Structure 1
């Protein structure tokens, strides 16, 4: 009898393993096939709707020209900024990167004022400051004198 008890248990275990294994493999294969089909469909749609983009290097002159072209189209009101960027053939991110680097270049390209120019401007501002202080002091004296006359203190 001990042989009979162990044999059916083994058979059940083997049957359960064989039954479940093909289903799992079948499901996995089906999922893989569906996923592969979806990616190929998505890829074909993407390539059909958009042009293939190539990595290009634009010269500084090309960048400035495209930025001016986009600015002119937007200023004229003929198109929105997104449409103008697309018509120039660049991405929005590229446009904003170029625009930001152009601003950074403008800030660094300004020449610092020479020491004599700074000193002359400082002297001029100091003289203007003294003049304004004198005017304010005179105005306050006049106002105080008027108030004293009204109150009869003087």
Structure 2
């Protein structure tokens, strides 16, 4: 049997492996050249046109009216929007925001039914109820007659 206390070969193997791997020096990086100066970005016509501008409520309404008159005059919607100097997205946002305001105004200024109209409306509702009841009775009677004929009841 082998002697477990015999570590001579193992120690010699470890020592030879350790000697074979000598520490290596780190690679030196070469110095970078001077950076090129950043070229100034030239403003294009698109960049200046894309600059945000806030329009007052009056200006918005004026532009919307201008576009509407141009469209009625025979121009296409896209051309009218371009001539107004706004994007299609802006046009539709303004138009959507203007609609609820117009609806509020028309609802508040629209007069309710007058006394005479209200009385007529009530009379029509009563007549409608009477006719519905008559129709329901007629259908029940017809349904009962058909059941008798078929012998279901």
CA RMSD of aligned residues (A): 4.4
Q: Which of 99, 105, 129 pairs up with 1:103? A: 99
C-alpha separation between the residues in 2 aligned to 1:143 and 1:53? Answer: 72
Matched, 1:130 2:123: no
Query: Which residue of the partner structure matches residue 68 of structure 1?
Result: 68
Q: How far off is 1:63 after superposition?
A: 3.5
Gaps of 5+ in 2: 1-25
Aligned to 1:3: none
Note the 1:4-153 alignment, pairs <5 A. Answer: 19-20=30-31, 23=32, 26=34, 29-30=35-36, 32-33=37-38, 36-37=39-40, 39-40=41-42, 43-44=43-44, 46=46, 57=56, 58-59=58-59, 62-72=62-72, 76=74, 78-79=75-76, 81-109=77-105, 110-111=107-108, 123-124=122-123, 126-148=125-147, 150-151=149-150
Q: Deviations over 1:80-138 (max 9, x none)?
A: x3232102322223312321122111221112765987975873564144124223223
CA distance in 2, matches of 1:54, 1:106: 24
Deviation of 1:147 after TM superposition, in Å, equals: 0.9
Does structure 1 retain, via aligned residues, the 8 Å contact 2:64–2:91?
Answer: no
Matches of 1:132 and 1:56 in 2, distance apart?
57
State which structure, 1 or 2, has the greater radius of gyration over its C-alpha atoms.
2
SS in 1 for 2:86: coil
**Structure 1 residue 65 displacement after superposition:** 1.9
> Aligned-pair distance for 1:140?
1.3
**Higher helix share goes to which structure?**
1
Paired residue total: 124
Gaps of 5+ in 1: 1-12
